Amino acid sequence: MIEEIQSSQRSWMEKFPYLHDANEKIDLAIVVYRRVGYLKRQDLDNIAKIVLDALKGYLFKDDSQIVRLLLVKNEAKLLAEYETDSLVISFRIHDPERDMILINEKNNGTW
């Protein structure tokens, strides 16, 4: 999983290097979609460690640059009769004046 995240992040950063300075402080959101059997057994702290280790050196140089971390795990939806795990990572430059929220697609509310 780490290699996949690094590859994706590396590719993105190479295409758009001007969009982010890896020295800046950031707010980071990670949303994990896992199959039902794995969801209950997956600890949030372990998910965070794997993802942060994979992003280090690409999105940030040191995880002390992460000011806010929002981590959510959800049940994966059945797609074309296949259970699919997925990971959504989003970030922004830290702005202490702005709250950090995610929109919940089920009820258009926030987490």
Q: What is the CATH number of the domain that holds 33?
A: 3.30.1330.70
- pLDDT beyond 50 at 105: yes
Q: Is residue 24 part of a domain?
A: yes
Mean pLDDT on 94-107? 77
Q: Is residue 83 part of a domain?
A: yes
Task: Report the 3 state secondary structure along the chain.
Answer: CHHHHHHHHHHHHHHCHHHCCCCCCEEEEEEEEECHHHHCCCCHHHHHHHHHHHHECCCECCHHHEEEEEEEEEECCEECCEECCEEEEEEEECCCCCCCCCEECCCCEEC
Q: Is residue 31 part of a domain?
A: yes
Q: Is residue 9 part of a domain?
A: yes
Query: Tell me, what's the pLDDT at 111?
Result: 47
Q: Is residue 74 part of a domain?
A: yes
Q: Is residue 107 part of a domain?
A: no
Q: Is residue 82 part of a domain?
A: yes
Express each pLDDT in 7-58 by its tens digit.
777 777 777 766 678 788 999 999 888 777 776 777 888 889 988 988 888 7
Q: Is residue 110 part of a domain?
A: no
Q: Which domain holds residue 88?
A: 2-95
